[in-house]
Amino acid sequence: GVRVLYESYPRAVEEKEDNGRGWTALHMAASCPHSSNSLIEALVDIYPAATMEVDRRGQYPLHLACSSGKSWDDGIRIIFDANPEAAGAPNSVGLLPFHCAALSYSVSSSGGLASSGNIASSRSHSSMSSSSDDSIVTTHHEHEPSNIGEAVHENDSQDLLAKINVVYSLLREIPAVL
């Protein structure tokens, strides 16, 4: 769908909103927690310079993707690879994308670090191990959850691991953010 719109009006992906945000189409997709990886990939392919555009608050699409709760493999990596320098650029309040990710996870009302303190006391049979690929941890499920409560808890665990992986991946790529 994005390519059809682009073919009809190519400047649509390049133009910024005429409002207080000043977002491009990539900024919009990056800020939406439910935008797909394929949408972000298409927008970056069509107009990679959007990864280098800041909005009126000094935020690159990378800041917005990190704030929206996206996972590393579902949007953040594509934006990072197109403009890794944005990882070291503070927004107008001095936050790097790493900070945006960490803060969004710590204040989340559902599934964020602040509300996931019970992950350590999990009743599920998962094991975590170091991984040499792009993830900090992987999980291995020995048994499927036997009831709804365990299934919800397992989803929270997976969500938490995805969030930890974003922070880890940003630190791995730009360790100087600490």
Per residue in 78-103, pLDDT (tens digit) is 999 999 999 999 999 999 999 999 99
DSSP structural state of residue 84: G
151 falls in which pLDDT band (50, 70, 90)? low
Ranges of beta strands (E only) in the chain are 126-130, 137-141
Q: In this predicted structure, what is the pLDDT of residue 154?
A: 72
- Residues in CB range of 99: below 8 A, 6 or more apart: 177
Average pLDDT value for residue range 138-160:
55
Residue 37 makes CB contacts below 8 A (sequence gap 6+) with 73, 74, 75, 78
| CA 178 to the chain's CA centroid | 19
pLDDT tens digits, residue range 4-37? 878 888 888 899 999 999 999 999 999 999 999 9
